[in-house]
Structure 1
Amino acid sequence: MPLVSRTIIFFGVARAFFVTHAMLCIWRVVEVTGEDLFWLLTLLCILLSIEAIATLLLAMKKFEWQVFSPCILIYITTVIICTWILEFNLYFQRLDYAEKHNIDCGTTDVMYRNTSIPLGYIPISPIYLDDQEWSLALQQVFLFILVIGRWLLPQGGITRDQLYELLLVNIGMAADILEFIIEGININVVGCSSGLITMILFFWSFSLMQFTLSLTAEREKVALAYDTTDVGILSRWTKCPHCVCCSTDVWATMVTLIMQDGPFVIVRLYLIIEFDAISQGMLFFTAKNLLVIVVQIYRLIFLYNKSETENELSKAKQDLSDRDPESDNAKQQPNKSEINVAARVTDDSMKINELGSVNKNFSYKI
């Protein structure tokens, strides 16, 4: 199959996954709330289709999204809105259940509303899911589709090794993000507090924005974009002259640190200290986030030291070339000798030609 045809197929399949899951989330919101007004969220799906057409038109002009993916942003925004509505619907159901049974919220398990899923002609009994299980299932499928969609979408000029690295990182991020919202909201004190639910959902939504970025491109990608291999030109685009803040590795590390591990460990430590929310999973993932933060800080220090060392070496080489003009003269000497040799060869050839003409004249006279 030609590469262009395969790319277009993957392009369409990825967006078909996005639209299908987004429509399922919107349908679930309308089903739970009973408000047809939420069907307006399908405008985001229409926007996703418009983005697909615009991306195809830009691709014809040899343009491709390199670092940012607008289709993933639209898809994530749609699912985030639906998840907020579903989670707060569960929150109100917990409050109503506690009020009806005259108990404190969170002291007992809540009986959520069940919904059956008929399987048509398949000889299997219908599947029954309550509202909480529906929300959990949509979140799990959401993260799977994010990783698969990132795999199928155009790679943005990155190599296969970089793509595999990105996918592995995304799988690890997805597992941590999913555990964060599930375990966080399932804590009784969190499930009965609108403020804590808002905090959990806010940092969950913020962490999902990582999937819209693809920070694995390196210097070769910049060289391809600017059609140059000049180190001086590349250095201006890939790193600062006196710091390492513009390095792709630094940006990738800082994004994970700021958007996921940092906020997650703060929220988890707050729940453990303030509300005594101690469990095996909570302690494990808190320790995991702390360990990742330490490793990321160590990596930033390493990149800074590496950048400083490279700057010092380049500066030393520049100073050495400026202070040692003899090396340039030495380089020019072979050129002068070559010119002298060429001149001598030319003179000798001219003399030979003169002798040849004399011999010819002499033989003619004879």
Structure 2
Amino acid sequence: MSALLEAPGAGSPDTGPAAVGRGRWRGPLLVTALVVGLVLLLTLLTPSTSREALAADSTAPEGARAVARVLQREGVRVRQERTFDATLAAVRAGGPGTTVLVTDPGLVPQQRWEALADAGARLVLAAPDGDALEELDAVAPGLRTTGTPSARTLPPGCDLAAATAAGRARAGGRTYAAPGGSDAASCYGGSYVVLPADPATGRGEVVLLGQPDVLTNRWAALEGDGALALRTLGTSDTVVWYLPDPLDTETPLVPLASLAPPWTGPAAALLLAAGLTTALWRGRRLGRLVTEPLPVVVRAAETVEGHGRLYAGARATGRAAAALRSATLLRLRALVRLDGTAAPADVADQVAWLTGLPARRVLALLDGPDPADDAALVQLAADLDDLERRVRARST
């Protein structure tokens, strides 16, 4: 009799509350598993590259993967290291004369320069400042900085074989001077200085590269930049690409846990529990999301026309010119293969090199004064359109 009085389906495992709960969560769990699997697959298929400046595996405009790849194709072994111990071990394995490119010399103390010199390393230093040269003084005394001129393209101005073979290249950045009476060669206005090896002390050659742009993906294909970089680094069978890590020090680091008071752990656990509780409480869904149609759909052409009328009514020729130049710069950066943060001067140099137009004229169009009236604004729009057509014609 009691079985007949039960509600229909109350004891059925397929229709009870537990089954309904499982069905509710089955869809979200499947979607989550699919997303996680897709992310893992993309992670495995993505090549191991970085976006770090001057890194041998970086594909960013400021990276140096292009130069490193060409060196490897020419038979030079390129090893990228981030710790000094690994760098010194690579130099000892390669033997005296192994080239060590130091991308941030300011992070290398004096005793480490001495260790590299004792191993017979050939040092190539990327834009060392005065403090870095003071640390290097025990190994290569007398080197000093003389200025920080703006970047520009210069002829070698010296008889050094690597520089004369490369020809005109990007210079500036930092300039240096060698001690008097030395056999050092100074090229490209002092931004490329080579101090020859000293057989008496066993010190290898020291190269000061005040303009590291010649190593980067952005500039390696222009003028003689790539040739200068390859001839600077490719003189030995092994190049150790040393990216100093600020945390790679000889002084042991103090654990942060020892500096915290004893109640930090329980307080952090309590805050975490409170945060999770609040997230579960406020994250409840009361029903399905409701979509509403937009009250008005405005076409893009009408928006542009409305902006134009507002600029015309306010006589805001400067604002209109800025909008035209900004849009043109955005498209030109893509056409000349520069990133979205490239300065107008860099874009003007690339466009001038590609089209043959004077760089000053191109820069005046892209970053010049505001037009005085509507006629000048119309002429600016026509000139920008003509410039973009020329770049598209030459880049295809």
* Same fold, judged at TM 0.5 (above): no
User: Is the helix fraction higher in 1 or 2?
Assistant: 1
User: Is the strand fraction higher in 1 or 2?
Assistant: 2
Normalized against structure 2, the TM-score is what? 0.24
